[in-house]
Structure 1
Amino acid sequence: MTDVKYPITFTGAGPGDPELITVKGKRSLEEADLVIFAGSLVPEELLVWTREECECLSSASMDLDGMVEKMAEGYRAGKKVVRLHTGDPSLYGAIDEQMRDLDKLDVPYTVIPGVTAAFGAAAAMKMEYTLPEVTQTLILTRAEGRTPVPEGESLDSLASHGASMAIYLSSALAEKVSKQLAAHYGEESTCAVAYRVSQPDEKIIYTTIAKLPETMKNEGIRKTALIIVGKGVGDHNAAKSKLYDATFTHEYRDGVEKV
């Protein structure tokens, strides 16, 4: 026990590349005495930023109670504890339940955001999710599987908007995803599978919605992949933005009519 105590730090690791962690997140690892990392998802390469004497534990085999108690023990001992999550902790990170349990134990915490896989994938694909006059909405979601989704947030319902969509945690449900997307985007629309984004074995695979299940089966992809669909994927004809239009007047520039 010590009088000096530090809040638990929930840190977003980014999509996998150790250099895609934020500067603030990197610093939290460099200063940590104990890191509990999501071992089933966070590559151990991220631990390169920790000190030799830092204790690093995978949470893959831990349940919620055991993980929270380990964090609380570290806090009480005056250790700098980092809970390292893949991507951004706020997205499918199950951090709410951890924080609520820490509240019950009067253990303080802070959160450092991270780069989520959808944005790592867009960078790898050299694409823009929000194209002028084509699509201005990005939906981050997952298909219903063993874990249900709220009524009104089914993939079929969200796909009806025709927006850009990055579908997480649904690789094993490719058949179901394909059918629901086809009803709104069309069977021949291009979609992408972004596998292990930013990591050495990254794959970006383009296919059609109809061929999505076959493609993923042939590639042996059943996890750690995003399914990306929308008018920004593949060939498109987007209007140019007004932001850089020479004829468009805004706060910082007067537009000039073309002669």
Structure 2
Amino acid sequence: MIYFVGAGSGAPDLITIRGANLLQKADVVVYAGSLVNPALLEYCKADCQIYNSATMTLEEVMDVMIPAAQAGQLVVRLHTGDPCVYGAHREQMDILDAHEIAYEVVPGVSSFCGAAAALKAEYTLPDVSQTVILTRMEGRTPVPEKEKIELLAAHGATMVIFLSAGQMEQLSERLIAGGYAPDTPVGIVYKATWPDEKVVRTTIAQMAQAAKEHNITKTALITVGNFLGSNYERSKLYDPTFTTEFREAKQ
């Protein structure tokens, strides 16, 4: 059996109980060494075979996992955050399907959740934003034409931008071109939930300079939107004048 396990956003105690239990039982672990906290490997038993996928191709990863699973070993493919966000695990699952090898996915705490925790922020505020856009800038690899930053920025929603910390000046220009005001709040979170986490609060106009001053060039999320401001409407969920399925409004 192969388990795709979300390692969480960085702190080793933010892995799920299910994920930690699987690491403790695993015979083989293939982990994303460029992003997964190596402290998580302390969950593994002494004779576990551990491979760092940062130095491997897709084919090399499968050459490790498939024979191990066919031999009856428990295999954990340990992905950063949650595998469903930039995890590149779909292509692995398709290969496993072709080989008729069983697998399961164990969700994890994505770094975008860790970033919100670091900012002490709520992405969805009444009368501010009810939509969260998770995206990235094109770099060495493209994005679909309809998902250019300018087009997404036109919505004015909360944005969480991955894999783009090295392109801050261009990102700032394109966010403004898409419709955000230059003074729109930005939160830059470097290595969310890791011991060396940094949180930088700035604006779209100043984000490139702020990142430069704090020496942030990679491994950071850029969060954009007025959810970082102070103006919002109270939620109806706990409003005493609002009737819900479980509570009558008070006059």
Q: 1-side partners of 2:59 and 2:49: how far apart?
A: 19
Q: Which of the numbers 187, 190, 201 marks the counterpart of 1:192?
A: 187
The root-mean-square deviation of aligned C-alpha atoms, in Å, is 1.0
Q: 1-side partners of 2:162 and 2:128: how far apart?
A: 23
Q: How far did 1:218 drift? A: 2.3
Aligned residues of 1:21 and 1:114 also touching (Cα < 8 A): yes
Q: 2-side partners of 1:98 and 1:220: how far apart?
A: 35
- Which residue of the partner structure matches residue 71 of structure 2? 77
Q: Residue 188 of structure 1 aligns to which amino acid in structure 2? A: D
Q: How far did 1:113 drift? A: 0.6
Q: Which of the numbers 192, 197, 201 marks the counterpart of 1:202?
A: 197
Relative to its length, the structure with more helix (as a share) is: 2
Bigger mean CA offset, 85-94 vs 71-80:
71-80
Q: 2-side partners of 1:231 and 1:214: how far apart?
A: 20
| SS of 1:232 mapped into structure 2 | helix
Q: Which of the numbers 168, 174, 179 marks the counterpart of 1:174?
A: 168
Bigger mean CA offset, 215-224 vs 113-122:
215-224
What CA deviation, in whole Å up to 9, does each residue of 1:40-91 have, x standing for no partner?
1101011121112211110111101110110001112211000000000011
Q: Residue 30 of structure 1 aligns to which amino acid in structure 2? A: Q
Bigger mean CA offset, 181-190 vs 41-50:
181-190
| SS of 1:191 mapped into structure 2 | strand
Q: 2-side partners of 1:255 and 1:218: how far apart?
A: 51
| Identity within the alignment, % | 49
Aligned residues of 1:32 and 1:81 also touching (Cα < 8 A): yes
Alignment of 1:137-156 (within 5 A): 137-156=131-150
Q: 1-side partners of 2:243 and 2:184: how far apart?
A: 36
Pairing 1:216–2:211 present: yes
Alignment of 1:50-129 (within 5 A): 50-129=44-123
Q: 1-side partners of 2:55 and 2:250: how far apart?
A: 63
Q: How far did 1:139 drift? A: 0.6
Q: Which runs of 4+ in 1 moved over 6 A?
A: none
What CA deviation, in whole Å up to 9, does each residue of 1:158-213 have, x standing for no partner?
01000001000111111111111123221122201100000000001011111111
Q: 2-side partners of 1:146 and 1:113: how far apart?
A: 28
- Count of residues in Structure 1 that have an aligned counterpart in Structure 2: 250
What CA deviation, in whole Å up to 9, does each residue of 1:212-243 have, x standing for no partner?
1122122221211000001111x321111111
- Which residue of the partner structure matches residue 231 of structure 1? 226
| SS of 1:60 mapped into structure 2 | helix
Structure 2: runs of 5 or more not aligned: none
TM-score by length of 1: 0.94
| SS of 2:93 mapped into structure 1 | helix
Aligned residues of 2:119 and 2:187 also touching (Cα < 8 A): no
Q: How far did 1:118 drift? A: 0.8
- Which residue of the partner structure matches residue 3 of structure 1? none
Pairing 1:47–2:60 present: no
Alignment of 1:127-138 (within 5 A): 127-138=121-132
